Amino acid sequence: MALYGGARDMSMFRKVNRELMGNIISQEVIYYKYNVTTTKTNMYGESVEGRNFADPVMLFALIELGSPESPTSDLGVDFTWPITFRFLKDDLLSPTLDYNASMSFGSNLNPLPGTYGANIQPAVGDVIQYQNGYWEVDNTYDTQYFTGKNPEFPYTDADGNNPLNPGLDQFGYSVEVRCDCHYVPSDRLNIIKSRM
């Protein structure tokens, strides 16, 4: 049986991470979830009147800015600026989970009194606003695990038992979701900042 990475260890690790992200690092971004169902498309799958997004959610993130570049081509000068956003996975999960229900989370954009968790699953096409710029999500990853163990894969036999480590599904958890993004000019998006 595993010695570290159980429920008590995860609880302490969650509290430390939330304290670090919210009170020490405090880098806030606004997350716009792409709404496929309300976006009208033509027969080629292109959006007709621009893309539609769900209500924005303010989240804490670790941000790693790449170097902006201005490559030239036959069409002229372009602008690229890669960026990586890292979110605590617990911040993105449902607020009804036991360990999120006792925490407080929210902002003036999306107040959720008495709960924690934005109920968002990052996907390609979502948009993240950081300062005055917008970045579109290219790829998402959730490959960082506490104690290196993903509890979704306990490696059990046909009877549901792990002969080497019984109860291994109770250890470890997925810590973060990473979003690799590229810069998008604001005129290409159907996002209008009305107030903040």
What mean pLDDT is predicted for residues 36-40?
A: 71
* 156 pLDDT higher than 80: no
Q: How far apart are CA 59 and CA 88, in angstroms?
A: 9
Q: Tell me the CB-side half-sphere exposure of residue 118, using CA atoms within 13 A.
A: 23
pLDDT at 77: 74
Q: How far apart are CA 173 and CA 1, in angstroms?
A: 16
Q: What is the mean pLDDT of the chain?
A: 76
* 64 pLDDT higher than 90: yes
* 194 pLDDT higher than 70: no
- The predicted model scores a pTM of 0.74
pLDDT at 109: 44
pLDDT band at 47 (very low <50, low <70, confident <90, very high): low
Backbone angles phi, psi at 11, to 5 degrees: -60, -45
Backbone angles phi, psi at 63, to 5 degrees: -120, 130
In terms of Cα–Cα distance, which of 128, 137, 141, 132 is closest to 181? 137
Q: Tokens for 95, please give them.
A: 């607020």
Q: Are 127 and 191 in contact (CB under 8 A)?
A: yes
Taking residue 181's Cβ as centre, other Cβ atoms within 10 Å add up to 23
Token pair 């006792």 is found at 102
Taking residue 92's Cβ as centre, other Cβ atoms within 10 Å add up to 19
What mean pLDDT is predicted for residues 22-35?
A: 86
